[in-house]
Amino acid sequence: MRSFDYHCATNPAEALSIAGAAPARYLGGGTNLVDLMRQNIEAPAALVDVSRLPAVIEETPNGGLLIGAAVRNNVVAAHPSVRTRYPVLSRALLAGASAQIRNMATVGGNILQRTRCAYFYDAAGSHCNKREPGSGCDAIGGFNRYHAIFGASEHCIATHPSDMCVALAALDAVVHVKGPGGERDVPLLDLHRLPGDRPDIETVLQPGELITGVALSPSAAAAHSAYRKVRDRSSYAFALISVAAGLEVVDGRIADIRIALGGVAAKPWRALRAEEMLLGTDPAKERFLAALDAELAAAKTFDGNAFKVELAKRTVAAVLCELAGVNP
Amino acid sequence: MSVRITIDGEGHATVASAAHEMGMGTTTVQRQHSADRLGLPLESVTVKIGDTSLPFGSFAGGSSQTASLGAAINAASVKLAGELLRMAGNDTPLAGLRANELEFADAGLRKIGDASRHESFKSILKRAARNEISVTGESGTPLEMLKFSIHSRSAIFCELRVSDVTGEIRIDRLVGSFDCGRILNPKTAASQFRGGMIMGLGMALTEETLLDERSGRIMSASITDYHVPVHLDVPDIDVLWTDIPDPRTPMGARGIGEIGVTGVAAAVANAAFNATGRRVRELPLTPDKFLLD
Amino acid sequence: MAIVINGTEYPLPDDPRVSLLDLLREQLQLTGTKLGCNQGGCGACTVIVDGARVLSCLTLAVQADGREVRTIEGMVAADGGLHPLQQAFIEHDGFQCGYCTPGQICSAIAMVAEYRRGDPSYVTADLAEGPKGTTRQEIRERMSGNLCRCGAHNGIVDAIEELLAGEAP
């Protein structure tokens, strides 16, 4: 690991001022960044430890929740309000990594974690445009079982590995950001970028900007929501695909529906097309499948991950059937 | 494989060989074996292994260590009996006996089946004014490999579920039955069988070395990318065995280190076939191979 | 800048690159905690920091400033003998090579506290209610961050089940 200066910030203003003085990375639980630094994939000159910033989960005036960026993943998952009002978020967090890692990882760090593409990690022998812009993408034509079917480019087909973000995408979460230029709110769905020709630029955050929290709005669909993760190993493995969904049915018609997919793109993928087709209809498996066919028509697959289309379709349909209480 | 047995003036035996202990129970089992063979209580035997300064030991592998180490201990104990007899001289209850008329019992030697003609190690050494006696014995290629073909057998039974939505396989029960000669220590043997079967589960479901032929790079070279089973993958595993001694090996025992692994993938693939009608012949049996029509 | 390990205070290293694991093993000779993959994939380096189980390989030692760390060396029974879980591991043959054992034991001891607090896991049926009773599936899911290559899983779960069935501390 290369040398770096370490600073521990006690409040966001202090974090911003330290980060402004030197090219720095913010450090949360370290579960991803420390690993990447040890592999010499990241080599920041300075780390600003933001894991000790106030870590609270508070009720908001609109009846939602504001989750501090420094709150540990397991604390969010076990929080009574999250478990009852946003079960999809609790389940998604519990599906991620291991208990030890969830005890370390912060909400902000989870959002900003980097891909687990094996070619990205293989600094010693593989080409990766995300790690070294312009060097090529060995995942194309290589092992790409875990890779993207949506939004990929000829430069990068990596996926975003977070489970939590898939749930946040379904919940229309809003990310609170503080930066040198002031504060702003970014919808989670707009925070991550698709790779295009710059896969090394992964979010819309500007240098020095710090995630301070995530805001959730209340909704019936959020309270009636579920998460399903499909993986080779039954636990402690990244998703082949995952599904976060919420559903509100009023008088036999779908009044609100949220579908987000994980493991399919460089960002959590909201199935807006399918949602649009299903809104206002009465829930039935055939209709779910038809809507997913339409959504997945835009998928572009590779040798190793063509199965994801069928897998995603079936898994989403099964989750929706369960939420709707209709025959699977 | 060589073993040195040393008995000190207090009658305590040290059994030493540059063999290996990776957790499979070598020390425990050979201590039990030595105590049994030398007529000593367990606490009077120390087993020393894992150091190249000790008598030559072969590698722990090929399911061979237990049997070959046991054979070397056997050979050393035969030499020990002969040397102790010589050392005992004429002023001993053993006087006039030949080595092949002796057995180890009650921390010493006696005429086979005759407790009245017994002398302890301690007494023999004391009279000879010796602090210790030390002999080295060796085992060669076992007879079963030269003249006979004797093999261990196993049958593995598996009960599993396959998701008709995702194709994920989850194992509910696993039973292994083994014919591996005499089982020397039921506790360590059961653990070794189970351990092997869990490696077999990994082979069946998740473990795969990915070689990128364009670069020669192994793309599953880390434990995060190469998936060994986690706790949630592992059901309760029953093991049973025939415990029929092998007449061609010194303890009637054969190695059990590997046989646990071998049948599991086939049992899992067969169970998955029975559940789904889909015959998959390529491991690991990942969900994408069981997305059913 | 100081860290408390098993009740004793130690200064933190000057170089922020030192992981908590390396501080324990290389500088303090507390070698009970094991270095496995050094990248968060195996759980062998699990220790308990302020009551929570974490991976010491991915924790920078400076991040543990002012915190209380418990390692396997700190797991002792009231009479100074083996911790009840260590004894249970021996009785149920919960290890072969023993390399993952300190991590399994630290993980399990913290896990029991999570369980008794009512924290849910991915296999908990009712999120709002939390886990009901103790099931082997719950133990397995919660312990899945600790790999074991020898395959001692059954014995490990048996030992933890015994600990969970005992009196709450």
DSSP per position, A9-63: -SSHHHHHHHHHHS-EEEESS-TTHHHHHHTTS---SEEEE-TTS---EEE-TTS
User: Starting from the edge strand earliest in sequence, which strands make up the sheet with A210-216, in order?
Assistant: A57-59, A65-68, A210-216, A174-179, A182-187
Give me the pLDDT at residue B145, please.
66
Residue tagged 């894992």 (tokens): B50
B167/B293: higher pLDDT: B167
Question: Is residue A14 included in any domain, yes or no?
Answer: yes
Question: Is residue A252 included in any domain, yes or no?
Answer: no
Same domain, A29 and A101: no
Question: Is residue A256 included in any domain, yes or no?
Answer: no
Tell me which amino acid residue C151 is: G
Same domain, A202 and A182: yes
Q: For chain A, what is the mean pLDDT? A: 97
pLDDT band at B64 (very low <50, low <70, confident <90, very high): confident
Same domain, B62 and B175: no
Residue C169: is its pLDDT beyond 60?
no
Question: Is residue A328 included in any domain, yes or no?
Answer: no
Q: Are A80 and A41 in contact (CB under 8 A)?
A: no
- Whole-Å CA distances, C48 to A96, A289, C5, C72: 20, 46, 10, 9
The ipTM (two decimal places) reads: 0.97
Per DSSP, the residues of C66-113 read: T-EEE-GGG-B-TTSSB-HHHHHHHHTT--SS-SSHHHHHHHHHHHHH
Name the closest residue on chain B to residue A307, using Cα atoms.
B288
Give me the pLDDT at residue C77, please.
83
Question: Is residue A82 included in any domain, yes or no?
Answer: yes
Give me the pLDDT at residue B68, please.
85
pLDDT band at C80 (very low <50, low <70, confident <90, very high): confident
Which B positions 149-168 lie with beta carbon below 8 A of chain A?
165-168
Which of A121, A143, A308 would you mutate first to test chain B, the one with the most B CBs within 10 A? Answer: A143
Which residues pair with residue C9 across a beta bridge?
A: C4
Same domain, B91 and B157: no
B210 at A interface, C-beta within 8 A: yes
Single residue among B114, B140, B166 that ends a domain in this structure: B140
Single residue among B91, B112, B140 that ends a domain in this structure: B140
Tell me which amino acid residue B256 is: I
Same domain, B167 and B260: yes
Mean of the pLDDT values across residues C107-135? Answer: 95
> Quick one: DSSP state of residue B42?
G
Closest CB to A315 among B166, B214, B221: B166
Question: Is residue A31 included in any domain, yes or no?
Answer: yes
Residue C59: is its pLDDT beyond 70?
yes
Closest CB to B165 among A118, A141, A318: A318
Which of A41, A116, A234 would you mutate first to test chain B, the one with the most B CBs within 10 A? Answer: A234
- Whole-Å CA distances, A180 to A138, A164, A209: 37, 27, 7
Whole-angstrom distance, CA of residue A319 vs CA of residue A247: 10
Same domain, A101 and A186: yes
Q: Assign residue A230 a region: left if phi > 0, alpha if psi is -120 to 50, beta otherwise? A: beta
Whole-angstrom distance, CA of residue C100 vs CA of residue B230: 12
Of A192, A116, A194, A191, nearest in space to A149 by CA: A194
Same domain, A177 and A98: yes
Question: Is residue A249 included in any domain, yes or no?
Answer: no
Same domain, A22 and A47: yes
Same domain, A108 and A61: yes
Q: Are A100 and C46 in contact (CB under 8 A)?
A: yes
Give me the pLDDT at residue C17, please.
98
Same domain, B89 and B62: yes
Residue C68: is its pLDDT beyond 80?
yes
For helices C153-165 and C84-91, angle between their N-to-C axes, nearest 10 degrees: 140
Contact residues, chain A, for C126 at CB < 8 Å: none
pLDDT band at A94 (very low <50, low <70, confident <90, very high): very high
Q: Are A158 and A195 in contact (CB under 8 A)?
A: yes
DSSP, collapsed to helix, strand or coil, labels residue B269 as helix
Tell me which amino acid residue C73 is: E
Expressed as residue numbers, the domain containing B157 is: 151-290
Token duo for residue C38: 């050094």
Domain count, chain A: 2
Residue C167: is its pLDDT beyond 80?
no
- Cβ distance of C153 and B224 shorter than 8 Å: no
Q: Are B70 and B251 in contact (CB under 8 A)?
A: yes
Same domain, A186 and A87: yes
Same domain, A89 and A103: yes
H/E element, C117:
helix C101-117
Whole-angstrom distance, CA of residue C44 vs CA of residue C54: 11
Minimum distance, in Å, between the CA of residue C80 and any CA atom of chain A: 27
Looking up residue A168, the CATH number of its domain turns out to be 3.30.465.10
Contact residues, chain A, for B286 at CB < 8 Å: 232
* Strand residue runs (E) in A252-293: 253-262, 269-270
Residue A206: is its pLDDT beyond 90?
yes
Residue B22: is its pLDDT beyond 90?
no
- Whole-Å CA distances, B268 to B162, C126, C147: 11, 31, 21
Expressed as residue numbers, the domain containing A26 is: 5-51
Give me the pLDDT at residue B293, please.
74
Give me the pLDDT at residue B143, please.
61
Same domain, B245 and B201: yes
A271 at C interface, C-beta within 8 A: no
- Whole-Å CA distances, A85 to A184, A223, B191: 26, 4, 45
Single residue among B140, B175, B198 that ends a domain in this structure: B140
Question: Is residue A137 included in any domain, yes or no?
Answer: no
Per residue in B209-245, pLDDT tens?
Answer: 999 999 999 999 999 999 999 999 999 999 999 999 9
Whole-angstrom distance, CA of residue B254 vs CA of residue B63: 8
Same domain, B245 and B190: yes
Same domain, B234 and B128: no
C58 at B interface, C-beta within 8 A: no
Mean of the pLDDT values across residues B175-188? Answer: 95
Which residues pair with residue B272 across a beta bridge?
A: none
Q: Are A119 and A138 in contact (CB under 8 A)?
A: yes
Give catalytic status of residue B10 as yes or no: no
Same domain, A87 and A170: yes
Question: Is residue B281 included in any domain, yes or no?
Answer: yes
Closest CB to A240 among B221, B222, B287: B287
Minimum distance, in Å, between the CA of residue B233 and any CA atom of chain A: 6
Give me the pLDDT at residue A163, please.
98
- Cβ distance of C156 and B231 shorter than 8 Å: yes
- Cβ distance of C107 and A99 shorter than 8 Å: yes
H/E element, A241:
strand A241-250
Same domain, A76 and A105: yes
Contact residues, chain A, for B210 at CB < 8 Å: 118, 143
Question: Is residue B145 included in any domain, yes or no?
Answer: no
Question: Is residue B254 included in any domain, yes or no?
Answer: yes
Same domain, B200 and B250: yes
Q: Are A232 and B286 in contact (CB under 8 A)?
A: yes
Contact residues, chain C, for B236 at CB < 8 Å: 136, 154
Same domain, A15 and A80: no
- Cβ distance of A103 and C39 shorter than 8 Å: no
Same domain, B89 and B174: no
Tell me which amino acid residue A184 is: R
Contact residues, chain B, for A119 at CB < 8 Å: 219
- Cβ distance of B195 and C136 shorter than 8 Å: no
How does strand A24-27 pair with strand A46-49?
A: parallel
The percent of residues above 70 in pLDDT, for chain A, comes to 100
Question: Is residue B264 included in any domain, yes or no?
Answer: yes
Q: What domains can you pick out in chain C, each with its CATH number? A: 2-74 (3.10.20.30), 84-165 (1.10.150.120)
Same domain, A32 and A173: no
DSSP, collapsed to helix, strand or coil, labels residue B159 as strand
Question: Is residue B146 included in any domain, yes or no?
Answer: no
> Quick one: DSSP state of residue C25?
I
Q: What is the dihedral of CA A159, A163, A168, A174, to 10 degrees?
A: -60
Of A142, A60, C152, nearest in space to B231 by CA: C152
Which of A117, A232, A302 would you mutate first to test chain B, the one with the most B CBs within 10 A? Answer: A232
Same domain, B132 and B9: yes
Looking up residue A13, the CATH number of its domain turns out to be 3.30.43.10
Same domain, B114 and B239: no
Same domain, B179 and B278: yes
Domain count, chain B: 2
Residue B144: is its pLDDT beyond 80?
no
Whole-angstrom distance, CA of residue A263 vs CA of residue A269: 9
- Angle among Cα A60, A64, A66 to the nearest 5 degrees reads 60
The percent of chain A in helix, strand and coil, each rounded to the nearest 5, is: 30, 20, 45
Burial string for B248-285 (b: 16+ CB within 10 Å, else e) reads bbbbbbbbbbebbbbbbbebbbebbeebbebebeebbb
B227 at A interface, C-beta within 8 A: yes
Mean of the pLDDT values across residues A247-257? Answer: 98
- SS3 annotation, A93-147: HHHCCCHHHHHHCEHHHHHCCCCCCHHHHCCCCCCCCCCCCCCCCCCCCCCCCCC
Give me the pLDDT at residue A21, please.
81
Residue B181: is its pLDDT beyond 60?
yes
- Cβ distance of A234 and B232 shorter than 8 Å: yes
> Quick one: DSSP state of residue B230?
P
Token duo for residue A159: 């996926």
Question: Is residue B239 included in any domain, yes or no?
Answer: yes
Of B132, B136, B127, nearest in space to B10 by CA: B132
Which of C14, C47, C55, C59 would you mutate first to test chain A, the one with the most A CBs within 10 A? Answer: C55
Mean of the pLDDT values across residues A221-235? Answer: 98
Token duo for residue C27: 């500088």
Looking up residue B174, the CATH number of its domain turns out to be 3.30.365.10
Per residue in A271-298, pLDDT tens?
Answer: 999 999 999 999 999 999 999 999 999 9
